Amino acid sequence: MYRYIKEDLFTSEIYKVEIRNLPRFVGFNDLKKFLAKHGLNPHKIKLFGRQTFAFVTFKNEEERDKAMKMVHGMQWKGQVLSVKLAKPKADPILRKRKENEGESAGGPPPCKRTDDGDEEEEPLSVQIANVVTPLWNVSYDEQLKRKEQEVVVVLQKLANLAVIFANRTTPYSVYSPETYEGHWKQLTVRTTRTKHAMAMVFFNPQKLEEEELGALKNSMKEYFTEGEGKDSGVTSLYFVREEDLPCELVAGETCIQEEMLGLKFRISPHSFFQVNTGAAEVLYSAVGELAQLDQDSIVLDVCCGTGTIGISLAKRVKKVIGIEMCQEAVEDAKVNAKLNGLSNVEFHCGKAEDVFPNILNAVVSSSVTAIVDPPRAGLHSKVILAIRRAEHLKRLLYVSCNAKAAMTNFIDLCRAPSNRVHGAPFRPVRSIAVDLFPQTMHVEMILLLERVDYSEDSVL
C-alpha cells in the first residue's frame, strides 16, 4: 500500500505533517497565508470540513523540519498549534484494487477509514506495536531527531527564565489567592530607554511583626545595592504591603524617567505609562495625525495618565486640559509639563464622570477636540452623556485597548437622540490600529468620530 514512497519517483507524502488545534472555520487560503507569513512554502494542504486539524506536505525534509519547529507551540487566533509527523497516504490505486479483490472473493466489507481517508488494515500485531512502541517503524536516527525537537521546544519555554535567584531561599511562602495564605504576591518591573528600572514587590505581611518586615526590607535593599542583584540595574525599589496603601521606597530614586517623541516624562509607582515606548510613539503620532489640530485648538485629554498624549500635542495647540483620577499620575503630569517647558497645559484630578462634564461646559470654543484613552472597560456612561450634550464639541478621538469592550460606548456616541441621550450623535469617520502589544492578540485602536450636522442633511 505504501510501495510508492520507496521508489525513485518524488512524492511529498514522505514529508508530511499534521497540524492540530487549528482555529474553527479556518479555510485552505487562511492556512496557506498563515504559513507563508512565517516563511513556509507547503507543497500540499488538506483540510477536512470544519475539523480542527490539517495535513500539510513539503518538498523536502529541511522544509518539513523547519515547519515543525516554527509552528509547534505557535498561537493563532487564540489557539496554540501542535505539529507532529504524519503517515504517508496509502496508494489510492492499490487500495481500490484490494477493495475490489475483497469484494469479488466474497470477503468482508472495506475496512474502517481514518481521518485522512486511509484504511486501517494492519494486522493485530502491528496495531499493538503502534500503540505500545509507536516509533517501531521509524529509523533510530529519526527517533533521536524527534526527541531532540521535543526537548528543544521545552527548553525554549525556559530560555528566558532568570537564574540569578536559583540558589537563594526565603522563609516566606508564595501567597495563595485561594487560601489567603503566604506572603509573596507579585513583582512588577518597569524599564525605560533611559536605563531606569523600577521594581515593585507586593508582599502580604500576614501576622509578621514590624521588626521582621524591617529585616526583610533591609535584606532586599542590601541585595540590590551591594549584593548580586546590584548588576540588575534596579534604580527604584519599592515594597508594597497592600495595594491601597502608599508604596514604601526601599532603595534608589522615587521615580523613573522615560524619553518619548523627544520629550521627557517622570513616572511614579502607581502612574500609568504605556509599556511599549516605541509603539506608543507610533500611537501618539497617529492620534496627532487624525486630530487635525491647529494653534486655535483646545484639547481635552481624558484619562490622561502622566499627560503623555496632551503633552505630545501641546506645542501644536492653544491649550491642553488633562483629566486623571490617579493623584500620583496628575503630579507626574504637572512635573512633565514643566520638564518640557510647557505653559499651556493644565491637569485636574478626579474621576472623569465627576470632573469632565463641568470642564467641558466651561470651555467655549468652536475648536474643541476631546481625546479619550480610558481603561479597558471604557468610559463611564456619565462621560458619554456629557459628550453628547456638549454640541460645541465636534470631534472626538477614542483610543481603545479593547475595542470589543468599548462597543457600548461607540453605540451610545452614535445612536439617535432620545429621552436619555441628548444632543446630535457622532459618526465614525476613520480608524487606525496600532500594534502596541507584539506577540499577543491585543491591539490598540484609534477611532475618529465627528458630530453629525443635521443642518447639512448629514446621514448617519
65 is in an annotated binding site: no
Q: Which backbone phi and psi does 428 adopt, to 5 degrees?
A: -70, 130
d(CA 329, CA 46): 54
Closest CA to 46 of 55, 36, 57: 55
CB 379, CB 352: distance < 8 Å: yes
Q: Which listed residue (111, 349, 401, 414) is catalytic?
A: 401
Could you tell me which residues come within 8 angstroms of residue 357 by beta carbon, excluding any fewer than 6 positions away? 382, 383, 386
Q: Strand locations in 292-423, DSSP E?
A: 298-302, 319-324, 345-349, 368-372, 393-400
- Write out the H or E segment, with its range, that includes residue 220: helix 210-225
Q: Is 111 a catalytic residue?
A: no
CA atoms 229, 230, 236, 240: torsion sign: positive
**Do β-strands 345-349 and 426-434 pair in parallel, antiparallel, or remain unpaired?**
unpaired
N-terminal to C-terminal alpha carbon distance within the chain: 65
- Cα separation, 294 vs 366, in Å, equals 12
For residue 369, how many other CB atoms are within 10 A of its CB? 22
Task: Report d(CA 307, CA 334) in Å as an integer.
Answer: 8
- The answer on whether 324 is annotated among ligand-binding residues is yes
Alpha-carbon distance 406 to 71, whole Å? 33
> Hey, which bits of 48-135 come out as E strands?
53-57, 75-76, 79-80, 82-85
Exposed / middle / buried, residue 119 (Cβ in 10 Å: 0-12, 13-18, 19+):
middle
- Catalytic amino acids? 401
Enumerate the known binding-site residues for S-adenosyl-L-methionine: 274, 324, 373
Residues in the annotated binding site: 274, 324, 373
